[in-house]
Structure 1
Amino acid sequence: MHYVAMLTIVDPDLNAKVRPAHLAYIDDLYKQGKVVMAGPFTDKQGGMVIYKAASPEEALELAKADPVVKEGARTLELREWSPLEFPLG
């Protein structure tokens, strides 16, 4: 299953400090096949990570271990996502 993590910045200074560790973390998970896609929002208020995990518990564990979440620089909203298969019909 896929899970979308919405990561809203709540402490810009701390976020800037922890961001390199965040990028290294999601890059490593991408190499393991656990992150499908990630990136910042254009309004610079946070970003999104799409995880591929076997269960909601695994996805939550991965998302909570992200340095920006662990350090309190960003809030976490995690939702299960069911992408459409294209082409439709």
Structure 2
Amino acid sequence: MLYVAFLPIVNQELNAQVRPAHLSYINDLYKQGKVVMAGPFTDKLGGLVIYKADSLEEARKLAEADPVVVEGARTLELREWSPLEFPLS
């Protein structure tokens, strides 16, 4: 299943400090097949990560271990996602 983590920034200064660890963390998860896509919003107020996990609990564990969440630079909203398969009939 796929899970989308919305990560709004709540502390810009702290986020700037923790961002390198965040990028390293999600890059490692990508290499393990646990992150499908990730990136910042163009308004620079946060970003999102799409996780591939066997359960909501696994996805929550991965998302809550992200350094930007652990350090309090960003909040987390995690939702299960069911993308449409195109083309639609």
Shorter-chain TM-score tier? over 0.9
Identity %: 80
Report what 1:8 is aligned to: 8
Residues in 1 aligned to 2:51 and 2:87: alpha-carbon distance in whole angstroms: 23
Report what 1:78 is aligned to: 78
| Structure 1 residue 88: Cα displacement | 1.3
| Structure 1 residue 87: Cα displacement | 1.4
Stretches of structure 1 lacking an aligned partner (at least 5 in a row) = none
| Structure 1 residue 43: Cα displacement | 0.3
Matches within 5 A, 1:1-89: 1-89=1-89
| Structure 1 residue 70: Cα displacement | 0.4
Residues in 1 aligned to 2:34 and 2:83: alpha-carbon distance in whole angstroms: 16
How many residue pairs match? The answer is 89
Stretches of structure 2 lacking an aligned partner (at least 5 in a row) = none
Q: Deviations over 1:38-80 (max 9, x none)?
A: 0000000000000000000000000000000000000000000
Residues in 1 aligned to 2:56 and 2:73: alpha-carbon distance in whole angstroms: 23
Which amino acid letter does the alignment assign opposite residue 82 of structure 2? S
Residues in 2 aligned to 1:35 and 1:84: alpha-carbon distance in whole angstroms: 19
Residues in 2 aligned to 1:86 and 1:26: alpha-carbon distance in whole angstroms: 27
TM-score normalised by length of structure 1: 0.99
Residues in 1 aligned to 2:10 and 2:2: alpha-carbon distance in whole angstroms: 25
TM-score normalised by length of structure 2: 0.99
Higher strand share: 1
